[in-house]
Structure 1
């Protein structure tokens, strides 16, 4: 499972000209689910993201988590994180999980964030979304549950 985590001033998702998810200060997480990912991958990434110390403390050091600052998370499914561009000009998505499995693990991820007490907004799975991200810093991190060792 892969995540692009961005510290934001605000973020939102619009589907069919209707806003379906919005947060203020916090994190926008673009989440891709790969072949062979399990609920353990979803829980690992959610736990890691909740505790990432990427917000400034009083001394301007990156010492606070999204939980510490009372922030929120906007989680957006994005299978294109598994796009393989090494061959040709059209990405291959063969490493992305099939939609049914990806939806289930995406929901597991979101529920784990909520269990941590984080206000969590989402996009709409398998819909064309317009995502607005006002990156703060900018701070952007790439996480992969398969690269934990």
Structure 2
């Protein structure tokens, strides 16, 4: 399933095309990623840096002595992570792809910081966005259409 996939940020300022060789992705639970994203984990797809073409270069945050994180300064979308030196690879956030549905998690990283209560949420009540009428009304009032 090799091929190219596109992605970008919420506001559309930063866009990319990446060559993808497989469907494997992973969840990172390390404290650096938790703090950088404000989430309990983040889904990453590892790719070769040379296989990512940016139509508009993202902003880069010098997040530690060994790594940098890409993001959009306008909307805050997180694009991923790369080492400052010594690696031809980088990680792109799965959710920043236009269609992230093809990726499947193959392992967990940063297991020492896993919040286990958030791993298996099967059985919890589920609510679709369009079923929350207050939100739908606000969205329609602001944009004239229902949210995606």
TM tier, smaller? under 0.3
Structure ID, larger Rg: 2
Q: TM-score, length-normalised on structure 1?
A: 0.25
More contact order relative to length (CA 8 Å, sep ≥ 6) = 1
